[in-house]
Amino acid sequence: MCGLVGAAGNLLGKGRVDSFHQLLTVDALRGADSTGVAIVRRGVDEDSEVQRQVGAPYELMQSYPYDRMFKGITPKVIIGHNRYATTGKVSKANAHPFSIGSLIGAHNGTLTSQHALKDGNLFPVDSMALYSHIDKLGLEDALTKLGGAWALTWWDINTSRINFLRNKERPLYFTFTKENDAIYWASEAWMLYGVLGRNGVEHGDVKMMTEDIHFSYHVDQQGQLGDYKEVEAKSSYLGFTYQGPRNFGGNLPVTNVVQNNVSKLPPVQPESKGLLGKVVEFRPIAIFRDKDGNPYLNLLVEGHEEIVARLYMNKKDVLETYINKRMLGNLFSFTPYSTTGPQGFYKVAYSTIRLIKEYMDSFGKLMEKKEWEAKYGQCAMCGSNVNPDENIHRFTKNDEVICGECCKDTELVDLLNLK
C-alpha cells in the first residue's frame, strides 16, 4: 500500500500549495519507507524538478533541496508519493515519482507482469518498468501487458497533460476547487476533506475516479486547466497460464505466481540439447509445488526459453525474495515426466547458484558492473575514478556522474542541479 497525493491547475490562491504539503504529511499513513515530490513550474519552459528521500515526509520537507524547489515560485502541477515498499529495496533511487523520458509519474500498487513490459527485467521497481514502457510504446500497448494493481498519476512533458488511471484494486479520489480552476487528488477521501477544509480551500464533492478510465487534463503555461479527455483503458493482459503436461500427480497448488507475457509454456524438449552440466543464466519467475508438496522456483533460462527448469532451495530460504533476480547456476539433472514421453524438466544445483550483481544507471536501469564502470567510471568534474560499490556518487540530469568528494561542494551541487 502506497499513497498518492497532488494538485494541478491554478495553485496561486491562499492555502492551495500549503494544502499539498499537508496532504503529503497525512499520506505517510499509507507508507513511510520513502517520500517524493515532483513539480512542474509555470512559464514558457515548463521546467520540472523531482526530489525524493528515504523516510517519512518530514525527512524530505526539512531538506534544503525541497525548500529551494518551492521557494519564490508557485508550481502548476505537484505530484506527491509516499512509498510502502513492495518490489525493490528501500532507497532514494527507488522512491517515486520517477522521471523517465517524457513522463514524470507515481504508482500505488504492485504489478504481477513486470517482465512482460519492455525491458522490464532491467528495472528494480515495477513502477519504473511501467512508465518506461508507456514512454516508449504508449499506454495502449502497456495495457496489453499490464497485470496486478495500479493507481497512476503522471505528467507528460510532450503534451502538457496531467494523467490519471486506476483499476479496481486501488483507490484514487479527486475534487475540484470551487472555481473549477484546480484539481486535487489523494488515495483516501478524508485526506481531501480534512486538509482542504483546514486551509480554507473551498471545493466540490470528493469523488472516486472511475476504474479503467484514463482521465487527462491539459495544463497551460500559466496553470489553467483545459481540454479534458477520458478514454477507456482496461487491461487486456491474460497473464500466465500453465498448459504443460498433467501426468505427474495432477494439478499442482501454485503460490505467488509472477505472471509474464508468455500465455503458453512451450513444449519441453528431451535431454538431447547437451545442457546437462552447463552453467546457465536464469530468472525465477514463479513458485510452484511438486506432487509431494515441496516448493520450488520455476525458472526462465536465458537463451533456452523452450526448456522447463526448477530450483529447489533450502527450507530456511524465503523463495519470494528470489523472484525475478538474475542468477547463474549449473543444470545437473533432467527428469522426464513419464517413462514413455520425452518431456521433462531440468534441475539447477542449489550449491552452484549465485546472484548476478547489478548496478543502476541515472535512469534507474540495471546493468552489470563492467557496463557501469565503462559509462560512469570517471567523475565528470574532477576526472577521478568512481567506485559504484561505495554508493556516494550523484548523477546529473545530463546522465553523468559526480564523485563523492565533488558532491561535498554545496555550491557545485546547486549549480549542477543533480538528481
Q: What digits encode the pLDDT tens for the residues 282-339?
A: 888 888 888 888 899 988 888 887 788 999 998 888 888 888 788 889 998 888 865 5
Residue 378 domain boundaries = 359-416
DSSP state of 416: H
Segment 109-128 shows an average pLDDT of 87
Residue listed under C-alpha cell 515495477: 126
Considering just the CA atoms, what is the radius of gyration of the chain in Å?
24
Which residue, among 196, 195, 186, has the nearest Cα to 151 in the 3D structure?
186
Same domain flag for 351 and 364: no
Same domain flag for 32 and 163: yes
Last residue of a domain, one of 305, 327, 355: 355
Cβ contact 29:23 at 8 Å: no
Is residue 148 in some structural domain?
yes
CATH of the domain at 271: 2.40.50
What interhelical angle do 189-198 and 16-26 show, nearest 10?
Answer: 140
Is residue 330 in some structural domain?
yes
Is residue 70 in some structural domain?
yes
> At 70, is the secondary structure helix, strand, or coil?
helix
Same domain flag for 191 and 327: no
Cβ contact 82:95 at 8 Å: no
Cβ contact 40:29 at 8 Å: no
Residue 155 pairs with which residues in a beta bridge?
104, 162
Which residue, among 242, 248, 244, has the nearest Cα to 338 in the 3D structure?
248
Cβ contact 216:229 at 8 Å: yes
Is residue 247 in some structural domain?
no
pLDDT, position 417: 65
Cβ contact 54:34 at 8 Å: yes
Same domain flag for 86 and 19: yes
Q: What digits encode the pLDDT tens for the residues 242-272?
A: 444 433 333 334 444 443 433 343 444 444 4
CATH of the domain at 7: 3.60.20.10
Is residue 110 in some structural domain?
yes
Same domain flag for 99 and 135: yes
Is residue 248 in some structural domain?
no
Same domain flag for 221 and 269: no
In whole angstroms, how far apart are CA 332 and each of 42, 286, 364? 62, 20, 35
Q: What digits encode the pLDDT tens for the residues 21-69?
A: 999 999 999 988 899 999 999 986 668 999 999 999 998 998 999 999 9
Above 50 in pLDDT, residue 233?
yes
Is residue 343 in some structural domain?
yes
Same domain flag for 154 and 277: no
Q: Which residue has the higher pLDDT, 409 or 269?
A: 409
Global model pTM greater than 0.75: no
Last residue of a domain, one of 319, 338, 355: 355
Q: Which residue has the higher pLDDT, 98 or 253?
A: 98
pLDDT, position 121: 79
Peptide bond into 97 cis (omega under 30): yes
pLDDT, position 253: 40
Segment 184-207 shows an average pLDDT of 96
Is residue 126 in some structural domain?
yes
- Domain total of the chain: 3
pLDDT, position 268: 41
Q: Which residue has the higher pLDDT, 368 or 233?
A: 233
Same domain flag for 382 and 399: yes
Last residue of a domain, one of 306, 331, 355: 355
Same domain flag for 267 and 290: yes
For 48-157, where are the alpha helices, taking DSSP H only? 57-61, 64-70, 126-137, 139-142
Same domain flag for 196 and 271: no
In whole angstroms, how far apart are CA 10 and each of 152, 221, 337, 378? 22, 10, 65, 44
In whole angstroms, how far apart are CA 339 and each of 52, 70, 172, 214? 58, 71, 55, 53
Distance CA 349, CA 330 (A): 6
Which residue, among 100, 47, 105, 45, has the nearest Cα to 79 in the 3D structure?
105
Same domain flag for 340 and 363: no
pLDDT, position 106: 97
Of the pLDDT bands very low, low, confident and very high (cuts 50, 70, 90), residue 240 is very low
Same domain flag for 301 and 157: no
Q: How much is the mean pLDDT over the chain?
A: 84
Distance CA 376, CA 378 (A): 6
